Amino acid sequence: QKEVEQNSGPLSVPEGAIASLNCTYSDRGSQSFFWYRQYSGKSPELIMFIYSNGDKEDGRFTAQLNKASQYVSLLIRDSQPSDSATYLCAVKFTNDYKLSFGAGTTVTVRA
């Protein structure tokens, strides 16, 4: 069974702090990894994707991938109240057409 696991939270961080989100996946051969943000009642919105081991930075967001450990993370630096949302980890498993989503981690940024 191919699974994407996330710590469900909720994760509460003060404004300006770093929020750290984790995700593990079951298929060692997976090649494509995505982080989506979902505000309540809205659709998922892509914020980062990563294909290679290491770090990838985009503004205040950094995605980290470790394929050997089957682990992908998302760091949100200088967290803002507008970052309060549920963050979804998604993985494209080997030979799948679809993205498989984790249950999401809810982040609350306290002003």
Partner 1 sequence: EPEVTQTPSHQVTQMGQEVILRCVPISNHLYFYWYRQILGQKVEFLVSFYNNEISEKSEIFDDQFSVERPDGSNFTLKIRSTKLEDSAMYFCASSPTTNEKLFFGSGTQLSVL
10 DSSP assignment:
-
Q: Taking CB under 8 A as the rule, does residue 82 contact partner 1? A: no
Stretch near partner 1 under the rule CB under 8 A, chosen from 10-18, 19-27, 31-39, 61-69: 31-39
Q: Taking CB under 8 A as the rule, does residue 31 contact partner 1? A: yes
**Out of 19, 44, 76, 84, which residue is the one contacting partner 1 (CB under 8 A)?**
44
Coarse DSSP helix, strand, coil percentages of the chain, rounded to the nearest 5 percent: 5, 55, 45
Residues with Cβ within 8 Å of residue 96, at least 6 apart in sequence: 2
- Residue 68 to residue 1: CA distance in whole angstroms: 19
**Out of 12, 28, 32, 53, which residue is the one contacting partner 1 (CB under 8 A)?**
32
Strand partners, 21: 74
Q: Taking CB under 8 A as the rule, does residue 88 contact partner 1? A: yes
Residues that bind partner 1 (CB under 8 A): 31-32, 34, 38, 41-46, 49, 88, 90, 92, 96-104
